[in-house]
Structures are given as C-alpha cells and as structure tokens.
Structure 1
Amino acid sequence: MTRGHLTAAAGTLVALTLLAGSAAALPHHEPEPPPSGPLRLVSFDTCAEALTRLRTAASASVGPWGFQPGWRTGRTPGGLANPAMVPKTADGARAAAGAAAEYSGTNNHEPGADEPDLVKTDGRRIVTVTGGVLRVVDAATRRATGQLDLTGDTGDGDRFGWSPDSLLLHGDRALVLVRSAAVRPAVEPSGRRRAADVPAGPRLLLVDLAGRPTLTGTYRIDGSLLDARLTGPTARVVVRSQPRLAFPDLDKDATDAQRLAANRAAIARAGLDAWLPTYERTEDGRGDAGRVGCDRLSATADSTGTAVLTVLSFDLATGRLGDGDPVSVAGDADTVYGTAGSLYLAGQQQRPGQLRPRGRLGPSDDTTTVIHQFGTGAPGRPRYLASGAVPGTLINQYALSEWQGHLRVATTSSDRRGVRPATESAVYVLTRRDGALARTGTVSGLGRDEQIHSVRYIGPTGYVVTFRRTDPLYSLDLTDPAAPRVTGELKITGYSAYLHPAGEGRLIGVGQEADADGRVQGLQVSLFDVADPARPTRLAQYHLPRAGSTAEFDPHAFLYDPRTGLVAIPVHDGSLLLLRATGGTVTRIGAVAHPGRAPVARSVLVGGALWTVSHAGLRASDPSGGTMLAWLPAA
C-alpha cells in the first residue's frame, strides 16, 4: 500500500477519505492511538488489497450486535454567499432571451458554491419543489408556467414513496435531489406486484426547463445524501452508504463472544461488492445499472470499514447525467463545506473499538475532526489536495472558512474526567503543505464550560458565539495565520444560533433570548456593531417571546436585503416575520402568512417583489410591509 498524492500509475486509485492513520494492519483488540504526524492518503494497488483492508477494518470495528447501537443487518437505509442578497442580471444567470430582474439567491455560505434548496430563481423564473411537485413561475407576470409531478411514475417503472426536497439550477436545467426514496417497483421480476416499498437511497432527477418541464434523466445510488454543491455548471453530490453485510440472527441464548465470532465470520465471507455502492440511471428512455469500481475506491489504514463516501460529478451544461464519474472512499463524514475552488469533507474520527452512535450530542474528550480538501475549480472529478485534523467537534459548515490559502476551523472540545465535563472552544488555522493541512496557528480558551452555538468569518475576522448561561460573542483577528488572537468579547443574555454580515461593521444574529440562568425565553434578532474589534456591542434587539425560527438552524430560511435592511425569517406560527435592520435599530414592519396557516419555508426577492414559498403555494408580497400582490396556489 502506498501513501501520498495520486499518481498516473496503473492501479493507483482515486482517493477520498475521512479517516487517516498509519499503514499498519488493524488489530482486533485495543485500538491504535490517533495519528500524531501529518495525515496522508492511502491508495490501493489491487482490488484484493482493498478487500483485505475493508474486511480487517470492519472486523475490528464490529461488536456482538453490529457496528453501532441499532445497526443490525447492514442494509443500506433508504434515504438519500456571504451576503444573502446579491443583485444579479442576465449576465450572471440566463434562462432565455431577455433581461432578468435583480433578485436574491439562496443564502449560501460562500459565493461561487451554490447549495441545494427548495426554491431557486434566475431573476426571470422561480422554480420550487414542494409536495413532490416541481413548479415554474414567471416572476414578471406572476403566473405559473409549468409543473411536473415527481412523485409518480418517472419513466423507469418505479414510483416514489418520498418527495424531492431540494434542487440546483443551471440555465435551462434543474437537478432535483431526493434525499431518500422508498421506491415502489410496479412488478417483481416474476411478474407479481411487490408487497412492500424498497429503500432505494438518494435519487437525482434532471429536468429540462426550456419549455414544459420535462424529466430527461434519473440517477439512483445506495446510501443517504449528505450534501451537494454547484460550481459553474458542475454539480457535485456527496453520498454516504453502509456496507451490505448480513449478520446472522443467533439464538437468544448465544453469548456475546459467539455473536461477535459470527459477525466477524460474515465479514470474512463478504466480497468487495458488499462495500461498493451500486447505482442505476435512465436517460432517453433507456436504463442501465452499475457499481462503483474498485479502481475508484480508497481507504486509510485506520478506516473502520463501516461507511463509504461517494462523490458524484454531473455537468449540467451537457443536458445528460451519465454515470456521475463516481469516486468512493471507505470513510465517514457529516459536514460538507464548499467554495468556488474547493470541497471540504469533515467528520469525527472514530477509531476501531471506540465507535460512537452517529448524532451523539456534545463533544468527547478524545474527539478529533478530520478534514479533507479537494480541488473543484476545474470541471469533472474533484482532485485531492490535502488532509488535516483538529481536536473537538464542528457545529456545522459555518465553523469552516477558507481565506487566502488558509482554512479556519472552530471546534468545541471537552474533558469528561470530572463530575461535570469541562468544555472549551478554539479556532485553528490550517495551511496546505505537501498534501497535508498543517496547523499553523491556534487561539484557544474560548467559552470555558460552554459550547459553540454559531460561527461566522468575514475576511480576516472571525466571530464565535458560545453559550451556557450567557452569550459571549468573541471577535477574532485572523490576519496572521500563525498568531490568531481574540480582540474583543461581548457578554449578553441568550445566544445567536446564526450570524450574518450586514454591511461594514455590522452583524445580525438570530437565536434565543435567555434569562440569567440560561433558560431560553424566545426568539431574538440582534444587530451588532463590530466596527471596533476591541469592543463589539449590541445596538438593538427584537424579541418575540415563546417563539423560534427555522433560520436558527437552517440558514437557507434567512433573507437579508442590504439595500433596504429587510430581514425575513419564518417563525413558530407559520408566518414570515419582516423586520428592518437599519442604522442602530431593528423594527418589525409586517408579516406574511399563507392560507390555512401553511408554514412559510422560504422567501426570495425578485424584481421588487417578495416571494414566499410553502406547501400551499407561492405568494408575491410588497417587501415594505407584506401586502399581498399575487397568490398562486399549489393545487
């Protein structure tokens, strides 16, 4: 087995990974300590070598009852910009001849890396996927121009049992993402109807929008959808799958030792196909199927063998999906962060014998986050660039930020040896050197006994909110990657769960107010003055008792217009709250509600109108106060 960069030598495999370590074979007893040196990718020379590595890793990771609590059969479960408002014209996005109005795009983390969402617009048309139906609306005439039912027969004999939930838009083509789908085949090969739904994993649907919306291609792969990014015309979709291992069901009197031996025997019998994801696609009325080849698989020495990540690449400009040009790694991830030129995959490192349930809340004293960077500046398959690791856990993708060749990473770590876990947070600066993301600087000691609730980076400055009883908002100077430092701290009650830049020296926070003991008291929207890095202050606050907003955990639900100061966020009663944050004030200017109290999920600005989306339909309103201009029911 070899280490280092990818080469052109025959048999060297394309590498992706989320776990790294030494090249020594994995033992079946005490786990190896985490790697202390720079992380390096490991690639296989043969398929037999890949199978040996996966079997060894999975055998070391498995327990008497499977890999993790609740993991029994190994069946892949069914499932698949800095400023939010950037005025654009037809030069930035074209759907057909004619000029497009100014419009707001998806509230992406980074410019140049579009994120999937349930509504997209190019300034001329608005495209949504709600209730399993794709709808197209002409923004100028405020009329529906087409729709496509995506829950019915898709042309390959299957019917969905789950609805699409997001899409990416490029020119006249939409890539619709079905996060998970229980597909109902019309008949079994024997000719009988199948009695139950079949978990089918994520499904991708290519829709042509040039005329009447038309489904032109479908793609289905094992696993669950992690996330996707669109850079130029290229969509890259990250999928996580579990190996298909059939662990035996032993008699209830069997001992743990007998169960463990039986599970390891099942792993020893498994072929490479148990780990390699399968996919199916249809185009031009014809379908075929395939499996990710072993020449597209890689793993690291300390891979647990319990998950496989696959990155698919689709060029939407061609109007065809193809096979997705897949590459896979035996590794795990839960966070995807993208820029115009890079794709980062990050996840907790879990060493064999120390697996923890996915989704466990709170950091652990030995938790390490491993990060891998891939180049996405050119079309096609992403190119591996570097890997690195930092202590602690990420809160979400906003804990990561690439700036001037450096990656900033904010994490929370804890020491559980005492009666009460002692936590603190830090920001690490990593720099790519010789295939490794090497740590060049650290600022630690943030929010002792607290955890990170939100992070935002704006150029060379970082903002970190920690909370347990009060909310320290830390401002950080990250100009020197070797010497990041805290420049100021603001302590207030409550916390901000999402931070958004609001012009020079201003920051908007959306979160919860709290009393002196840390008990939450309802939604709060704060306007911060951060012009003086030594003294951040809160200029104004809007408080809505006993309320919350999806924008606290889903930034796509947040809308900000820097020209007018409009802030729009969904709230607990299903309406869209309209605020204005200007000067030093935050004031309520109105609200938008849909018929039947259908919860408003998203809002976009197109040509001076505020469009809101719910499962009941689309509404155009006056953004200055919410007066209705048009209503387009979903039915």
Structure 2
Amino acid sequence: MTRATVTAAVGTLAALTLLAGSAAARPAPEPAPPTAAPRLVSFDTCADALARLRAAASASVGPWGFQPGWRTGFATGGAGEPLALSRAGDGARAAQGATPEHSGTNVHEPGADEPDLVKTDGRRIVTVTGGVLRVVDPATRRTSGRLDLTGDDARPGPGEGSLLLHGDRALVLLRGSTPVLPNGTSARRPAGGPTGARLLLVDLAGRPALVGTYRIDGSLLDARLTGPTARVVVRSQARLVFPEPGDGATEAQRLAANRAAIGRADLDAWLPAYDWTEGDRRGGGRVGCDRLAATADTTGTALLTVLSFDLAAGRLGDGDPVSVAGDADTVYGTAGSLYLAGQRQRPGQLRPRGWGGPAGRDPGTAIYQFDTRAPGRPRYLAAGTVPGTLLDQYALSEWQGHLRVATTSGDDRGSRPTTESGVYVLTRRGDLLTRVGAVTGLGRGERIHSVRYLGPTGHVVTFRRTDPLYTLDLTDPAAPRVTGELKITGYSAYLHPAGPGRLLGVGQEADADGRAQGLQVSLFDVADPDRPTRLARHHLPGAGSAVEFDPHAFLYDPGTGLVALPVHDGGLLLLRVAGATIVPAGTVTHPGRAPVSRSLLVGGVLWTVSDAGLRADDPAGVAGPVRIAWLPAT
C-alpha cells in the first residue's frame, strides 16, 4: 500500500460525497494517535483498500481469532416541544378524504421517522408481526389487506420485522444476521441463503403486494426516513475463516496462521454483497472500492454501509450503497443530518462491548456526521470523538449548529466505581467535529440512565442508589452548566416532554440500596431550571415496562393527557396527566394475555397491537377504556 498522509481538507472530503468514486488522499498505514479525530479517508485503487484492510485486521487478530463476544462480534443491536397528534391541512384533508387526527411513532426528532412494527397515516394502520403484514381500515375497523412475508426464503424471527411508511409504500425491514464461527469470525453468506439484512417494498394502493426486495450481507443497525428517502444502516463483519491448527500449536503459531489467512483474503471478505428483485427482474453486486472509506485507526473487523431508497419511486434498485470501514452501534437522525456513533476501537486494543475502563484509558466514542438534506446518497461531513460511552440515541442532540453528546466515563465495577458523566458540545469546523464546551463531573460513581434535550436545556438522569435529575443550561455552547439537581429514589429510564415546563419519566422505583422496586412514572416540573421538582408519581410494585428500553412503546397525547405504556404482565397501563397529577385511567388486555407491544390513536380511538391481533377502545370511558372492536391476527 502506498504511504501518504491523511488530508484534513474539507474540500477533499466533500468531494467524496461519501465516496462517490473520485480519487482522494491515500490512507496512512499507521493508526492515528489516541487524541486524533477519526477522519475518513478513501483509496486510489482497490489494491490500496485491500492492503489497508489486511493490515488493520492483522493488527487486530489474536491467536484465537477476533474473540467472540468482544466488540468485533457486535450484537444484532434536539427535540423542542412535545410531538402533537398529526393535523392535516385543509388541502391534505381534501386530497385524502379528511384524514383523521392520529398519533405517529414516538421518535427522537421531528422530520426523521424511525422504523417500528406499526405505522399509521390516519387512513390505514399497518403492522408487521409474525412474518405477516396487515392493513387495517380504522374507519370501518376491519382488516383490509394481508401479505405473508415468509415466502422470501426465510421466516422473520419473533419481533424481527419493522417498517417505514410513505404514501402508498411500506418498506419492511428484517434485521438479519451473519453467522459467527466458533473462532469469532463470520461466515460467508451461502448462495440464496437466509442470512443478511432484508428489505421488502410493499405497495399498499390496493391489496398489499410485494413489488421489490433487497438483501445485503450484515445485520440491520437502524434506519431513518426523511421525506420520501429511507436511509438504512447495515453493519457487517469481516468474513474471514481462520485455520484450525493441530494439537500442541503455540499461540505464536496460531497467530501466524491467522495472519497468513488474512493475507490471503481478497476484498470479498470485507465488502458486502447485495442482491435485489423488482418484479421479474433481478440484480446484484458488491459495494465497490470507490464507495469505501476507512478511519485511519480502523480495526479491519467491521463495516458500516448506508443505503438510500426513494420510497416515492416505487422501486428499490441497488440502494446506492456506501461503506465505512469503522464501527458504530448508535444511529441518530434529524431532518437534515445522520450521525453514526459508537465506542472507538484501535487495532490490537479490542475491548468487550460496553467496556468503560478507568478514565485515563477511556477509548472514547467516535461520531460520524452525514448531510441528509438532499435526496439520495448522504454526503459525509465530519467526524469527532468525545470521552466515555453513549447510552442510546437520546444522548445526542443537534441544536442551532451544535451537537450535544452525553456520555459516562470510568469503571463501574467493584464497590468503588470511578464513573462520572458529562455533556460535550461539538461544532463542525471543516471535516472535524470539534469540542467547544463541556460540563463534566455529573453523578460520580453512577451511570447515565436517561437523557432528554429540550432546545437550550438538557436533562440527565444518573443512578446507582438514588436518582439525581440534573438540569443543564446549554444556551452558551462554550459554557454549558448545571443549574439544578433533584435527588429522589429510583430512576427514570426514559424522559418525555409533557407540555411547557413539564417532563414525564418512566423507570423504576428503588430502595435505599438501589434495588428496583417496580414501575415508576414521574411528573417533573422543570419550568424553573434552578429548582426541578417532582409533582406526582405512579408506582406499580414489581412491574416494569418495555418503555424503559424501547421508547417506541410509549404513547402520550398532549391534547388529553393520556399516557399509555405496556407493562410486563402483558397488558397496557393507561394514565392521565391532569394538571399536577397522574391519574390511573385503566388497563387494556388482549386475549390469552398476549403482550401488548404498541398503542396508537386514530380519530380519538385507542388502538393496541399484539401478536394476537388489534383491539380498538374508547379511552374516555368513565370506568376505563371501553372496547369497540377486536381484530384477531388469524
């Protein structure tokens, strides 16, 4: 591989348009120093790309491969005002036949829809469960269409499917997987086999009909829909097969054999292959070298591929793929940006997933930003790092040209944890996300359990034995500061805006030793950032909710104060926020105690979804919800 320096010029990176194929600076052969930002570089030739990937993988491999269960084997896994129910304008109502008011998927940012197992546009409810896509007419409360998705060559696993909806098109996303071999490597996909992330394009204009499919090596990380453009992020592992040495082989011999295997591997071991169908037409290919970039300190063990699909076009095509030889586990999107973030790795320094380590050896989090304002392929903009590890996408927030990132650093193992948390403010300068401000030292000895940004204000919950809810003033990016702190027992695992100066928290009550005591829903008054208070709470001993780890399961209607969240006994708990109180409003259950996974509102009717079917209720009943209809899944 030719030696060259990594360019820092934003013009070169912009010219890549996330690697559109033009020549760019050749990658440096040595890893960047720990303090350097993980800039992306492209390659002059496929030979350069192969040499860089081989060198990185050789530096990362050990005598026993890439160590299954370590980060090389990743699991396959600023909002301002609260989101109100959709209200179509007069023109839209006329065009769509007076579409009723309806709730949407509970997403992090407006303008960036997220895939979920149920979607509605007010005219139809679309679900994907148990390998079947169903369409329900909420006006007649009847099933209007059904499409078996299992004929593609593999039945989706339980809870595997999710979907995005645009007009009369539904994009079904099936997570897929890459088989992992005993030595920690991943196998090649058998021809026509069921592995890999799969996408199914369904026409909903009449009876649901499959009009296109797409499959690519790897597993679905996440996706975002901005306008008609769906951008799907797939993570794939290097498909390397290491030899099995004979008995008595030393570790040095094993390492040499593994490196020799890497040295013989071609680009097919790294670059994801894909195939697609469009009616009777079929096609396929592999991500090209001109669509590949790498971080200067890539480990050569994983690739991220971003696919772009125009759902208004009625076809999928090849997805216009671009790949980065890097790693991430978090996708955060806004109406104009896409961020990929994850714990930073370096060759020869692979760490277990979620490893924190003492602050002095913190690997940090790498973040890559892409411009998604224009349709089609996203354009790479910049990269940066922050100390610590992320909880989830809610730890990130783009606001007025800055990115706020909340992380936890340090080691929480043992009786004397060294953890602390902070919020870092980054801005783009050229091709770098540069830190301009930070507030640190939050929750010493604790970890972040939830984050919510509301414009210039941030709210961070840390927990070990008690729950400090920190309020942060982020108005000045160069000088973020803590303005208030509320200590209560338990913690909130999810925070949701509930009107001006109000915040709802869903999590667990805990005793004085930090042991969970059951579901806790709290209403906070954060109007005075110096003195956050809790106005009310609802405690359900021994219970828990999927909302604690999946915000898509949460429903809040600001018009009526209705709160709906699944609980672990299988039912749906209804509450109402009324003034400064939280009032129980009943429960909804499905036959056979089938776990209710989602709830939504269409025209004032509460719809709940489970694998058993859909139920419609009037949520305004005096004694609780009143059942209107039941639509079984079979």
Contact 2:130 2:611 (8 Å CA) reproduced? yes
List per-residue Cα deviations over 1:317-355 (Å, max 9, x = no partner): 000001000000110000000000000000111111110
User: What TM-score comes out, normalization by structure 2 length?
Assistant: 0.91
Aligned-partner SS, 1:448:
coil
Residue in structure 2 matching 1:14, options 13, 18, 36: 18
Q: Distance in 2 between matches of 1:92 and 1:551?
A: 36
Question: Which position in structure 2 is the counterpart of 1:297?
Answer: 292
Displacement of 1:581: 1.1
Question: Which position in structure 2 is the counterpart of 1:459?
Answer: 455
Letter in 2 for 1:533: P
Displacement of 1:99: 1.7
Letter in 2 for 1:621: D
Letter in 2 for 1:25: P
Displacement of 1:84: 4.5
**TM-aligned CA distance change 1:195 to 1:426, over 3 Å:** closer
**TM-aligned CA distance change 1:580 to 1:514, over 3 Å:** same
Displacement of 1:419: 7.0
Displacement of 1:124: 1.0
Q: Distance in 1 between matches of 2:136 and 2:266?
A: 50
Contact 2:92 2:98 (8 Å CA) reproduced? no
Contact 1:182 1:197 (8 Å CA) reproduced? no
Q: Distance in 1 between matches of 2:388 and 2:311?
A: 37
Question: Which position in structure 2 is the counterpart of 1:99?
Answer: 98
Letter in 1 for 2:400: Q
Task: Say whether 1:3 aligns with 2:2.
Answer: no
Aligned-partner SS, 1:340:
coil
**TM-aligned CA distance change 1:614 to 1:49, over 3 Å:** same
Residue in structure 2 matching 1:499, options 495, 501, 517: 495
Residue in structure 2 matching 1:447, options 443, 446, 464: 443
Q: Distance in 2 between matches of 1:42 and 1:614?
A: 46
Task: Say whether 1:116 aligns with 2:120.
Answer: no
Q: Distance in 2 between matches of 1:39 and 1:180?
A: 28
Task: Say whether 1:519 aligns with 2:523.
Answer: no
* RMSD (Å) for aligned C-alpha atoms: 2.8
Aligned-partner SS, 1:262:
helix
Question: Which position in structure 1 is the counterpart of 2:215?
Answer: 220
Q: Distance in 1 between matches of 2:566 and 2:578?
A: 20
Task: Say whether 1:149 aligns with 2:144.
Answer: no
Give ranges in structure 2 of 5+ residues lacking alignment. Answer: 21-25, 180-188
Question: Which position in structure 1 is the counterpart of 2:598?
Answer: 602
Where do residues 272-291 of structure 1 align in structure 2 (5 Å cutoff)?
272-291=267-286
Aligned-partner SS, 1:377:
coil
**TM-aligned CA distance change 1:241 to 1:428, over 3 Å:** same
Where do residues 582-601 of structure 1 align in structure 2 (5 Å cutoff)?
582-601=578-597
Q: Distance in 2 between matches of 1:483 and 1:9?
A: 30
**TM-aligned CA distance change 1:70 to 1:534, over 3 Å:** closer
Contact 1:6 1:12 (8 Å CA) reproduced? no
Aligned-partner SS, 1:422:
coil
List per-residue Cα deviations over 1:178-232 (Å, max 9, x = no partner): 112699xxxxxxxxxx999945111000000000000000000000110000000
Q: How many matched pairs?
A: 609
List per-residue Cα deviations over 1:443-498 (Å, max 9, x = no partner): 11100000000000000000000000000000000000000000000000000000
Contact 1:580 1:586 (8 Å CA) reproduced? yes
List per-residue Cα deviations over 1:522-558 (Å, max 9, x = no partner): 0000000001111000000100000000001100000
Worse-superposed segment, 281-290 or 495-504: 281-290
Question: Which position in structure 2 is the counterpart of 1:206?
Answer: 201
Where do residues 297-446 of structure 1 align in structure 2 (5 Å cutoff)?
297-360=292-355, 365-414=361-410, 420-446=416-442
Give ranges in structure 1 of 5+ residues lacking alignment. Answer: 17-21, 184-193
Displacement of 1:45: 1.3
Contact 2:344 2:364 (8 Å CA) reproduced? yes
**TM-aligned CA distance change 1:77 to 1:519, over 3 Å:** closer
Question: Which position in structure 2 is the counterpart of 1:51?
Answer: 50
Displacement of 1:434: 1.2
Q: Distance in 1 between matches of 2:601 and 2:120?
A: 9
Displacement of 1:8: 7.9
Q: Distance in 1 between matches of 2:346 and 2:74?
A: 23
Q: Distance in 2 between matches of 1:309 and 1:148?
A: 31
Question: Which position in structure 1 is the counterpart of 2:233?
Answer: 238
Letter in 2 for 1:296: R
Displacement of 1:162: 3.3
Letter in 2 for 1:505: G
Aligned-partner SS, 2:50:
helix
Q: Distance in 2 between matches of 1:250 and 1:99?
A: 69
Displacement of 1:239: 0.3
Aligned-partner SS, 1:59:
helix
Question: Which position in structure 2 is the counterpart of 1:66?
Answer: 65
Q: Distance in 2 between matches of 1:489 and 1:362?
A: 27
Aligned-residue identity in percent:
74
User: What TM-score comes out, normalization by structure 1 length?
Assistant: 0.91
Question: Which position in structure 2 is the counterpart of 1:131?
Answer: 130
Worse-superposed segment, 489-498 or 297-306: 297-306
Letter in 2 for 1:367: P
Q: Distance in 2 between matches of 1:77 and 1:393?
A: 15
**TM-aligned CA distance change 1:417 to 1:349, over 3 Å:** same
Contact 1:549 1:569 (8 Å CA) reproduced? yes
Contact 1:84 1:106 (8 Å CA) reproduced? no
Question: Which position in structure 2 is the counterpart of 1:575?
Answer: 571
Task: Say whether 1:176 aligns with 2:175.
Answer: no
**TM-aligned CA distance change 1:79 to 1:554, over 3 Å:** closer
Contact 2:509 2:518 (8 Å CA) reproduced? yes
Aligned-partner SS, 2:422:
strand
**TM-aligned CA distance change 1:270 to 1:93, over 3 Å:** farther
Contact 2:178 2:236 (8 Å CA) reproduced? no
Worse-superposed segment, 248-257 or 161-170: 161-170
**TM-aligned CA distance change 1:380 to 1:198, over 3 Å:** same
Worse-superposed segment, 196-205 or 615-624: 196-205
Displacement of 1:11: 11
Displacement of 1:255: 1.2
Question: Which position in structure 2 is the counterpart of 1:188?
Answer: none
Q: Distance in 2 between matches of 1:305 and 1:96?
A: 51
Aligned-partner SS, 2:128:
strand
Contact 1:6 1:14 (8 Å CA) reproduced? no
Aligned-partner SS, 2:419:
strand
Where do residues 158-177 of structure 1 align in structure 2 (5 Å cutoff)?
158-160=153-155, 162=157, 164-177=160-173
Displacement of 1:131: 0.9
Where do residues 480-495 of structure 1 align in structure 2 (5 Å cutoff)?
480-495=476-491
List per-residue Cα deviations over 1:95-140 (Å, max 9, x = no partner): 9741210000000000000000000000111000011100001111
Worse-superposed segment, 362-371 or 503-512: 362-371
Question: Which position in structure 2 is the counterpart of 1:89?
Answer: 88
Question: Which position in structure 1 is the counterpart of 2:29?
Answer: 25
Q: Distance in 1 between matches of 2:343 and 2:567?
A: 32
**TM-aligned CA distance change 1:382 to 1:6, over 3 Å:** farther
List per-residue Cα deviations over 1:292-329 (Å, max 9, x = no partner): 11110110221000001100000000000010000001
Contact 1:77 1:223 (8 Å CA) reproduced? no
Displacement of 1:68: 2.3
Q: Distance in 1 between matches of 2:562 and 2:170?
A: 29
Displacement of 1:430: 0.4
Q: Distance in 2 between matches of 1:580 and 1:56?
A: 58
Aligned-partner SS, 2:410:
strand
Displacement of 1:363: 8.1
Worse-superposed segment, 340-349 or 83-92: 83-92
Worse-superposed segment, 208-217 or 346-355: 346-355
Q: Distance in 1 between matches of 2:75 and 2:427?
A: 38
Aligned-partner SS, 1:3:
coil
Contact 2:356 2:389 (8 Å CA) reproduced? no
Aligned-partner SS, 1:44:
coil
Displacement of 1:83: 2.8
Displacement of 1:272: 1.2
List per-residue Cα deviations over 1:489-512 (Å, max 9, x = no partner): 000000000000000010000000
